[in-house]
Amino acid sequence: MTLPRYVSTLLLCAGAVACDGSAGYNHHTGGGDDPDPPPPTLPGAVAPAPAKFSCDAKAVPADLPLPRLSRTQLMNSLRFAVGRALPKDADALWTKLAPDLARYPADRRTPAPGDLKGGFSRLDQSIQQTQIDVMYDLGKVVAQELTSTDTRRNTLLGACASDSQTANDRACLETFIRGWGSRVLRYPLPTQEVTAFADIAGTTPVDRASVADVITTVLNSPWFLYRIEHGTTAGQAAAPLSAFELASKLSYQLWQAPPDDALWAAATDGSLMTEDGFNTQLDRMMKSPQLRNSMDEFVNEWLRLDELPSLIALRNDPVYQAFVGAEMPTDATRTAMFEDVQLSAYNTIVSGGSVSDFLHDPKSYTADPFLAGIYGVPTWNGTGPAPVIPSKTRGGLVTRAAMLATGTASTRPIHKGYMVRNALLCQQVGAPPPNASDRPPAPTDRMTTRQAVSQLTSGGSCGGCHNNTINPPGFVLEGFDALGRERSVERLFNPQGKETAAPSVDTSADVLLYDSESRAISSAVDLSRMIDESQLFESCVAQHYFRFAHARVESTSGDGCLLSEMESVARSGAPMADLLKTVARHPTFKKRSFQ
């Protein structure tokens, strides 16, 4: 069953917290030009959790049999194909294609086994008939647009397509296939394949309809729709990738798109196969703005940002109106909340900050006036230093508005507690019982949110899990309302939107992280420190990024060596960028396993 954003009113634990962390703690090296000093540790700081992953050098990691391009990657590849064919018309043509592009089905985000929510769209490797049908239609539409006029056809094929000679028509078409087709299919087409594609045009190689048929076929080739890897050594269980296979793997990993000219050139001249050449390309790609193409998707899906409902759906509800106040947020504010988190991660990476720095990042990254007002900062234009949020009660990531807003007047502490456990600590919580309500506890005109949640979840079979695992992190975050604004009281309303009371907010809770590591805290800052000191967050980021990078759920045995290395990097205080580089530099990245 698909659970709503707030998970469920009742979550029945299958057992104790089940996610361990890692040892090897080196807290906060900072990064960038203006690194922030590490926050002071709590009295009786939480001890780093044990390492979650270990390396068995004899284990053989698995590979996806035939990696299908995700929807995002496929759309970027299609746009690349259009851009290489008709650079000057590409933007206008792409806009014209929008209705057909929208028909391609979205990938499904399937949670990992044992998780109730989450998952990455890259993990959807299913093949649907709808995908095949729509891609065929897209190939036809793109081909027809690229050849819609003699001028466009001539741009594709060159002057030989319109001269008075016919003897050179076949060679004209083959030159186009060898150039454009190789880049679109991401490997140098051998003569026999160029011939096979050209044969589709029959006896009229430069006829516009014939050229369109060739383009349609190229865009529906398995080499276009999948990331095919044969390796360079036949008959072995694990074979090194070719230069062009490696270029594609690296490009789709970091940019969600086909190799650019520089990466293609490095594959062509062989430099990509050398350690220095590979590192040169990796460093270049990590510094490119195109890195955001993958990082935004990773952060959005890891933290489930787009599960936040509309902030204006309840704009006519009297309680929501009274809660929000004079100025209603907009749909643009919701988008800005997502971008605030995404830009925090991206700027941490490009500035040299660590995973820990991302968790504690105190800056605001928004041009939206409403969100900037929540943070008490000026809007940011995207250049220069981002403004620092002045509040001393915010705790970095866990108190960004996207993590706190609910689209209602209620704060949903159950959802927030589950988010901390599952998305930030990689701890699993058992499924709710069959009779669990799908309506979250809400405050009344006389009862606070915390009181309503406690009344409904503290007893019976639900109490053990809610009291010890789910509710406490959510209660600590009650110092922020359902828009992410700081508060010391909770305003209660009757159904007509009249304020009936404003009791003080109770943010105290005993938070158990793992084993016996429990602390009585009362602020989001303390919660962030606990999470960081345990190093569970660092281990969890490594685990989530592995899934995103490999488009599959990890095997703790087969993938233990890479996971252990990623975990160590994340916990060491090294730049967060090194976590991404660790994946690309690992020996398994440059090989294809056929076991």
**What string of DSSP letters covers 120-161?**
-GGG-----HHHHHHHHHHHHHHHHHHTSSHHHHHHHH-GGG
Select from 336, 342, 327, 348 the least CA-distant residue to 380. Answer: 336
Residue 141 shares a structural domain with residue 244: no
State the Cα torsion 234-239-240-243 to the nearest 10°: 50
Residue 245 shares a structural domain with residue 213: no
Structure tokens belonging to residue 527: 């919660």
Distance CA 495, CA 439 (A): 17
* Burial (Cβ within 10 Å: 0-12, 13-18, ≥19) of residue 340: buried
Residue 145 shares a structural domain with residue 250: no
Q: Output the CA–CA distances (angstroms, integers) from residue 313 to 283, 316, 321, 327, 334, in the order listed.
A: 44, 8, 11, 15, 12
DSSP secondary structure letter of residue 233: S
Strands 591-593 and 238-240: antiparallel
The residue out of 225, 248, 274 marking a domain boundary is: 225
Residue 91 shares a structural domain with residue 220: yes
Rg value, the chain, Cα? 27
Residue 106 shares a structural domain with residue 219: yes
Q: What is the pLDDT, as a whole number, of residue 123? A: 94
State the Cα torsion 97-102-105-108 to the nearest 10°: 120
Residue 215 shares a structural domain with residue 252: no
Q: What is the pLDDT, as a whole number, of residue 31? A: 40
Residue type, 46: V
In a domain, 85, yes or no: yes
Residue 114 shares a structural domain with residue 152: yes
Q: What is the pLDDT, as a whole number, of residue 43? A: 62
In a domain, 306, yes or no: no
Select from 184, 258, 188 the least CA-distant residue to 214. Answer: 184
In a domain, 399, yes or no: no
Residue 267 shares a structural domain with residue 155: no
For the chain (length 595 residues), average pLDDT per consecutive 10?
37 36 33 46 81 92 90 97 97 95 94 91 94 96 97 95 92 97 98 98 96 98 95 79 97 98 98 98 97 97 95 97 97 97 98 98 98 98 96 96 97 96 92 74 95 88 82 97 98 98 97 94 96 98 97 93 97 98 96 77
Distance CA 358, CA 342 (A): 10
In the chain, how many domains are there? 2
Q: What is the pLDDT, as a whole number, of residue 439? A: 81
The residue out of 225, 248, 272 marking a domain boundary is: 225
In a domain, 202, yes or no: yes
Residue 214 shares a structural domain with residue 262: no
In a domain, 268, yes or no: yes
Residue 219 shares a structural domain with residue 245: no
Q: What is the pLDDT, as a whole number, of residue 44? A: 80
- Structural contact between residues 490 and 502, judged by C-beta atoms closer than 8 angstroms: yes
In a domain, 112, yes or no: yes
- Structural contact between residues 482 and 412, judged by C-beta atoms closer than 8 angstroms: yes
In a domain, 442, yes or no: no
Structure tokens belonging to residue 4: 């709503």
**Segments of 219-357 assigned E as strands:** 238-240
Angle 136-140-144 from CA coordinates, rounded to 5° = 170
DSSP secondary structure letter of residue 445: S
Q: Angle 576-585/331-351 helices, nearest 10 degrees?
A: 70
Residue 114, C-beta contacts closer than 8 angstroms, at least 6 positions apart: 18, 428
Residue 76 shares a structural domain with residue 218: yes
b/e map of 440-462 (b: 16 or more CB within 10 Å)?
A: bbbbbeebbbbbbbbebbeeeeb
In a domain, 575, yes or no: no
Structure tokens belonging to residue 407: 């689209």
Terminal alpha carbon distance of the chain: 34
Residue 171 shares a structural domain with residue 270: no
Backbone angles phi, psi at 239, to 5 degrees: -120, 140
Domain span holding position 251: 238-292
Does the CA dihedral 436-442-445-451 come out positive or negative?
positive
The residue out of 225, 249, 284 marking a domain boundary is: 225
Angle 18-23-25 from CA coordinates, rounded to 5° = 125
